[in-house]
Structure formats: structure tokens, C-alpha cells
Structure 1
Amino acid sequence: MHMSTDSTEWSHGSSEVAPGVRLHYARAGVGEHTVVLLHGYPQTWHSWRHVAAPLVRAGNSVVCIDYRGAGSSSRPASGYDKWTMAGDVRVLLREILRVNEPISLVGHDIGSMVSLAYALRFRDELSTLTLMEATLPGTDVYERLRVDMRHWHFFFHQALDVPEQLTAGRERTYLKLFFDGATFNPEAITLEDLSVYAAHFEQPGAMRAGFELYRAFARDDRDNRAALVDAGRLTLPVLGVAGAANLFSDVNGEMLREVATNVQVAVVPDAGHYVQEENPAGLLDVLIPFIDHNARRKK
């Protein structure tokens, strides 16, 4: 699997970050500043194929991670609360990859929830935080939107056993419905890309692991709210990115200011939910200057 068609060389690895849990990652670049990319559901590190190499060419080291339960990483029975998943990412970065400097963390969808948990749990370890297209547990906006019919899948995925039974043998069909329903341009995720994602989600336990991400939302909400009460809002630079054709473009600033004090928001045109796949150039137009100004320029 290749991230792009250019000459960027990617090294792959898989390392144990907790008993019985291995995370797969792809790494490229030799820049002093490290950008970490966390994908959403129902995706893998492949979702960053259009933006990772340009971030390397901009002078960064880049690490793309398949989080717990996704892609080529382990699919354990538990541990899908985002506090635990953030701990997985930290072990991989600090203890295995030996990334010692503050990082720029970029999350999309579920990856944004993991990224927020990382920022709240390890506040001194980030230089910037970018959150894209996620309803963040621990906010009042989350409480409003989680019952919005556009988030019907929250309830479906949280039901015990039912989604596993109904999607068994229909994984590719379900994933295509998921992508088509939230894209501005469904052609941005090609049949080849769909095959990449479906190949992972057809593996034993993969759909269950994906649903467990949603079943942990109530705990995520409690963890985030407790962290905000204990230590207050985040003070590092936070960039909130939304696709112009999706609902987050209206609420991003309000939601992010519930968890952070230094917030910048951007709306990427010609994109729905899957911003990095639908309009990668538009995303890079805001992401690279944000990282350069707030992280790399300070080094």
C-alpha cells in the first residue's frame, strides 16, 4: 500500500504498546518537528495518502498510526475509551519511536477524539493540536449533536451485538454507504480505496472493534469533563477544520472553545466529512501554515 505516487519513502512497523496490543505505523521524513496523523472511522492510515507526503516535503517528520482496533493494528476485546487509546499512541511515540520533542497532533473523526484525550492527558507534549470533523465528548455541543438524526450511527453502533450481526458479510456494502452518505464528492474515495478499507474491516473482530469505539463515548464524555474540571481548558494552539458541506462548519468554533482557549477555525471548500480525502489541497493550505507558525517556527 502506498501513501502517494511521489518518491517519499515510508517505513512501516508494528510494536506492542500494551499487553497483547500492537499498533501499526508508517513513518517518513527527517525533519526535526514531528506531525502525527490519526485517522477516523471507518478508515485506516490510508486516509492520509494525499496529505502525508506534502507534510514531509514541508520539512516535517510524519507518523501515520492505525489506532487500536483499526487497520493492521490489534483488535483487543477492550480498551476503546479514548483515554486508553491516547496512552497507546504515547507509548508508541515516546518509548518506541523515541520522539522526544513536542509534536503536532492531527486527528480526524474518531482520531480527533483520541487526539483531544491525548492533549488533555499529556498537556506538555504537544506544540499544536488539529481536530477535524468530530463531535467531541465532554462538550455541550456533543450533547446537542449526539441526538441529531444525522448521527443515527451513534445509536446503531452502540447497540450490543446487533450491528455486528447485521453487517457480517456485508462490510463493504456498509462502508460504501457510510462514505457515500457523508462526502461532498463520493468519487474522492475510489473503488480501490474502498477495497483497501473493506479488506481490513472484513477481518475477524474488525467491525466489532469499530463499534466499540462508539460504545465508549459515555466514558469518553466523563473522562474529558473531569480533565477540564481538574486542569481547565487547553492553552496550546488548536486548529478546528470542517468540510464546508458538513454540519461541523456551523459549530466548530463553539465546540472547540469549550475545551481550548487558543482556537482557530477553518472551513475547507468542496469537502464533506472526509476532508483529507475530498480536498487535500484545501486542507494543506490551512494545516501547513498553522504548524509552521505555531510549532516549527518556535524551534
Structure 2
Amino acid sequence: MPLVSTAPLLASAAERRAGLGAFNLVNVETAEALVAAAEQTGLPVILQISQNCVAYHGSRLAPLARFAQALAEGSDARVALHLDHAEDADLAREAVDLGFGSVMYDGAKLPFDENVATTRGVVAHAHDAGVIVEAELGEIGGKDGAHAPGVRTDPDEARSFVADTGVDALAVAVGSSHAMTSREASLDDSLIGRLAEAVPVPLVLHGSSGVSDDGIRSAIRSGITKVNVSTHLNGFFTRAVRERLADEAVVDIRKYLGPGREAMTAETARLLRVFAEA
């Protein structure tokens, strides 16, 4: 089916107090794995293309968007397309014009007032096209060394930021860190609850790869709606590839990328069920 809008998926998950899985594609095989997991479970999925992914593929967003759209159209799964962690406002606007259902403009490095002003501009462009915007407030540790560990999102500041910008979802810093390869992060569920009460939009958990299943379930019950996972799934893909390449006779790319895709599909399906049943 055609790509679906992100907005109703978020609204439905928030109403049911369930988690909505949002996973980053890197290449053809990872995108196929994520859609296959949605097909297997019958649950919706948000395919995310990050600014880093765009840079990896020659700074060309359009071919990635067209592939994701074609993949969705060939599937019976509900698939939404999201631009993740765009620190470039122009890239966010391009994604809107390409038909993404949602974009994340990440101005967390900017001073508060500048973040508000730039985010407001992205929101205006997106809303004119019926696209929703996620933003980030309160630095989340581990992202390219730019975000300080231990920082937490302030509920009062969050309330003001959402009101001033008109964003539709808010990524918050509550104890997780990007790019963690072990699931040892401890989230502040009390803070999540206060943030959920402070703002009228769904909350987003970044850095979920470092959080255990039980930790994610608890975060969802406390008020998280959208759950972003990347590194954790990449680990399943990479381990399967590494195991296959232990056979030095293997040279056909398909012989090792295929098992990687299968491993990622299985773990993505498992996570989708964990989030939906929280």
C-alpha cells in the first residue's frame, strides 16, 4: 500500500498507551528487513532516514525516499516515512517536499531561543504540506560527542518549547544515550510522566538501543509513544554477516547480506510486539 501518514499512527499509539516502533534504514537490505517485520506482525512501522544516512549515500535524499516509497507500495504493511535527526533545516524542508509523513528537525545544539525560531520555520513549512514535525529538547547523550551525558529535559521548558514552536512530537532526554551497544541505560520514568503531563504531544525516546525490554515497557507506560531503535538492530545484522563471513569461501554479497537481513527482520518483529504490548 502507499506510504501512510505518521500522524494517525502516533495518535493511535498514544491513545492506546502503546509504543510505536521507528527504525533506521541504512541500505536496501535493512529497509527490506524493517518492512518484512511489519508484514509478519501486522503492526505499523516508521521507516527512518537520518541525515547521516543521507550523507553516506552521497547527500542525495530523493533516491532513498523513492526507494522507501516503492517498498511500501509493494507491501501490505502500514509504513510511514520519517526524516531522523536533521540538523539542516533545508534537508527537513526537502523531505517535506518529497512526501515524507514526518520530519525531525534537531536544533538541540542551538541556544533555546534560536532552536525555537528555526524549529518554528520548519514547522510552518511542514504544516502547510500536512506533514508533522518532531523536535528535540534536552541533549541526549552520545550523539557524535556533542550531547552531554546526564542532561535531562525540563518539563517547564518543554511546555514552553512546544507552545512556541507548534511541534507535533517531542524527543526528550530522560537517561538514554545514542549508539549504545549494551542495554544498560536507566530511564527516569518519573520525569517521563511529568513531561507527558506538561506537553500535549507524543513523547519520543531516542537512544532506545541502550534500554532493556522492561525499561522500554516501563517508559511506554510512563508516557513514551515513539520508540527509536537503530544500533541494536544493526548489531543483529552485523553479527549475522560476521558469522557468515567466517567461511572464507563466501564471496557472493547476497550470501552474507541475506542472513543479516533475516536476523534484523526477526529482532525487529520481536521489538514491534514488545512495544505494542507494553
Fold conserved between structures, TM > 0.5:
no
